[in-house]
Amino acid sequence: MSDAARCFAVVPCAGVGLRAGAAGPKQYAALGAQSVVAHTLDALDAVPELAATLVVLAPDDQQFESHAPRFGQQRGWAVRQGGATRAASVAAGLQALRVRGAYDDDWVLVHDAARCLLQPAWVQRLIAACAADAVGGLLALPLADTLKHAVDGRADRTLSRADKWLAQTPQMFRLGLLQRALQAVGDAVTDEASAIEALGLKPLLVPGDAENFKLTWPADFALAARLLETR
């Protein structure tokens, strides 16, 4: 990584998380002594390679400060410019970084607010692997389970799991490249790597960790709580 290039984290935090079954947005649900998003931000704050973290909130969000009370003391900014989709929120976050002095060649690490078991060492592994890469990359896990294709709730065939990976976050790309990719593909993509791939580029797959899962379903909260207790 060149001396001039910096690393920024962007955390899209404007979703409502309907599948999680929580009373409100899942990023604000309690997990142990603090909220889901507070765990996520604490992990990012412990990564010395990150110059700052920018959280993208919904325009009408009135909860963030109460659920992440230490964030104002950390290296970070919160902007209420989130969109209807993840891609729109990330795009708004990239523009907000530019307003705050980020450049095309700076790295952006986009991380899900609901991947709250993140460990700083995993982020550092990604940064070390991608710092000299021409494209960038993402944390991911090789698919270990047998993969089925379903029709009407029944398995009709087994798909090859060879060369299949489960995408995680953070996903790390240069600001200018990622901004250009998102502008080209629109709001349909569900992760940043998909936008980069649409340009014909191939992001680097950096081994992640099974504990770096996204809280999506009600059972995920109980699993995350048990894992936090063992740390």
pTM of the model: 0.93
Q: What is the model's pLDDT at position 23?
A: 57
Closest among 107, 137, 133, 132 to 122, alpha carbons compared? 137
Compute the distance between CA of residue 1 and CA of residue 184 in angstroms, rounded to an integer: 27
How far is residue 14 CA from its own chain's centroid? 13
Q: What is the model's pLDDT at position 21?
A: 47
What is the residue-level pLDDT of the chain in tens, covering all 231 positions?
445 799 999 999 997 654 444 557 899 999 999 999 999 999 999 999 999 999 999 999 999 999 999 997 768 999 999 999 999 999 999 999 999 999 999 999 999 999 999 999 999 999 999 999 999 999 999 999 999 999 999 999 999 999 999 999 999 999 999 999 999 998 889 999 999 999 999 999 999 999 999 999 999 999 999 999 998
Q: What is the model's pLDDT at position 72?
A: 72
- Domain 7-230's class? alpha beta
Question: Under DSSP, is residue 227 helix (H, G, I), strand (E, B) or coil?
Answer: helix
Q: What is the model's pLDDT at position 75?
A: 85
Domains of the chain, residue spans: 7-230
